[in-house]
Amino acid sequence: MMSVQQLVIRVPDEMAAAVDDLVDAGEYDTRSDAVRAAVEALLDRRRRDEIGRQIAAGFERIPTTDAEMAAAYENARLMVEEEPW
């Protein structure tokens, strides 16, 4: 079983009411589940943003060559051509 820690937070009344609405609507079983899902989404977005920055930095370090771009455009053209529009 995963070790867990309890976090105590304070939120504005409106935010607490919105979380309660999510629970009342059956989207989450508890307030904790709703807040946990929000924190997980935040951490996932940050992780994805960092991966995107790393990918962009890699392309900046090693730019795409003209030959690679020509091949990519040709492959894209062929894929579109194959579509049964």
Q: What is the pLDDT of residues 37-69, one digit of tens each?
A: 999 999 999 999 999 999 999 989 998 999 999
**pLDDT given at position 80:** 95
Residue 84, SS3 per DSSP: coil
What are the structure tokens assigned to 55, written together?
A: 């990918």
Directed axis angle between helix 13-24 and helix 31-61, to 10°? 100
Q: How confident is the model at residue 85 (pLDDT cuts 50, 70, 90)?
A: confident
4-21 residue pLDDT tens? 999 999 999 999 999 999
